Amino acid sequence: MSDDRDLDVLVAGGGYVGLSLALALKQADPAIRVAVVDLRPRAAIEGDLRCSAIAAAAERMLSTLGVWPNLEPHAQPINEMIITDSRVRDVARPVFLTFSGQVDDGKPFAYMVPNAKMVGALHDRADAAGVELIAPDTVSDFEVRDSGVSITLDAGGTRDASLLVAADGVRSRLRDLAGIRTVSWSYDQAGIVCTVEHERPHEGRAEEHFLPSGPFAILPLMGNRSSLVWTEKRAIADNLVKGDDFTFEMELERRFGHHLGALKLAGPRHAYPLGLTLARGFVNPRFALAGDAAHGIHPISGQGLNLGFRDAAALAEVIVTARRLGQDIGALDVLERYERWRRFDTFQVGVVTDVLNRLFSNDNDALRAARDFGLGLVDRLPGLKKIFIREAAGLSGEIPKLLAGDPL
């Protein structure tokens, strides 16, 4: 490989995927030249009030990267999860399925972590490791050549690299510029995201209530607080978010229930359109997709963020291995190893979330009876439940080294 370019890898997108990829590369090979370009200034990252579910495998990766010690004080373990299936007007909501217990190392199968703390900790660690951080800026264009890729930045100037990684979100502009097509559709649903305070402690229990309009997830946070992911028809969700606090809190209480006492909205509420987007390919010569740029899925399984961590871990492992073998990290045959590793898993999770959403987001009595029978059957089979817990923890299948807690 020639040394006439100033970077080995440029990552477009400074979220959890882009930063964890850059940090993993720099930690495994301090000589690698990595830059991350992000449109958001640091203040915008710190202003993100949302929270995300981190699977046990992602916690192992963040621990290996040296990030978890700064996150652990803010992380709420999920010790138990219950699943119900009912209508909003139902007086009682029978529990059809429960998950509890720990994974092999005695840790919870998931945690809830504030997005701002997570991305901020990754940002600080990447900066300390020597990753070049360029913000606010964005990649406006790029040109692939035999020996590298010439990248034009919106603020002016160009950078030359062996590989450009697009981790710029589900509406990835770079994916379009690369000519990579997608399979996508809208669910005519929106996910309302907000945080609530409640009178009684949640004891680390997460709840997923399947309602006719879609899943209503209650996810525990530190203290007597919970993060909500509330699925509604888009028109209804828009009206609820734009409406007055009294109406919103009244509708919230109808779905949340009274088991945790009095409720109080703690912070702003937002609605995000929901759909499925799967890239038809993950790589081109000197170009790779990662995270939401490669796949945007329904939040029904809480796996979107964890799929992104799997992408970052797998791509980092492929790049580091290729460099140690003296191979060109931007060559198509190298990048296709990453695509083969991640494409089937992504497609599988996308199909599962799509089927689950269609199966549970309705008020059909026949379907309700069938799905409730299935949930109850799973609840009575400990071996099958253990498989589901390992899947939720991100520990099933051929996982990258970082997700197993092993350094590259």
pLDDT at 381: 76
Q: Partners of 216 in the beta sheet?
A: 209, 230
Cβ contact 99:388 at 8 Å: yes
Quote the pLDDT of residue 91: 65
pLDDT tens per residue, range 307-353:
999 999 999 999 999 999 999 999 999 999 999 999 999 998 898 88
Domain positions in the chain: 7-184+275-404
Full pLDDT tens readout for the chain, 408 residues:
345 579 999 999 999 999 999 999 999 999 999 999 999 887 787 778 889 999 999 999 999 999 999 999 999 999 899 998 888 877 677 787 888 767 777 789 899 999 999 999 999 999 999 999 999 999 999 999 988 999 999 998 899 999 999 999 999 999 999 999 999 999 999 999 999 999 999 999 999 999 989 899 999 999 999 999 999 999 999 999 999 999 999 999 999 999 999 999 998 999 999 999 999 999 999 999 999 999 999 988 778 899 999 999 999 999 999 999 999 999 999 999 999 999 999 998 898 888 888 888 888 878 888 887 887 777 777 777 777 777 777 887 789 999 999 999
Residues 6+ apart with CB under 8 A from 102: 108, 109
Instruction: Count CA atoms within 13 Å of residue 331 on its CB side.
Output: 10
Instruction: Check residue 395 and report its DSSP letter.
Output: -
Radius of gyration of the chain from its Cα atoms, rounded to whole angstroms: 21
Rounded Cα gap, residues 64 and 61, in angstroms: 5
The rounded Cα 74 to chain-centroid distance in angstroms is 18
Q: Residue 319 is inside which H or E element, if any?
A: helix 304-324
Q: Name the 3-class secondary structure at 81.
A: strand
Fold for the domain defined by 7-184+275-404: FAD/NAD(P)-binding domain (3.50.50)
The amino acid occupying position 257 is G
In this prediction, residue 101 carries a pLDDT of 65
Average pLDDT, the chain: 91
What's the CA gap between 384 and 248, in Å, rounded? 38
CA distance 328 to 325: 9
d(CA 199, CA 225): 9
Give, for 286, the enclosing helix (H) or strand (E).
Answer: none
Helices (H), 190-244: 234-242
pLDDT of residue 106: 76
Q: What is the DSSP letter of 406?
A: -
Task: Tell if the pTM clears 0.85, that is, is over it.
Answer: yes
Distance in angstroms (rounded) separating the CA atoms of residues 352 and 181? 21
Q: Which residues contact 345 (CB under 8 A, 6 or more apart)?
A: 307, 310, 397
Phi-psi region of 231 (alpha: psi -120 to 50; beta: other; left: phi over 0): beta
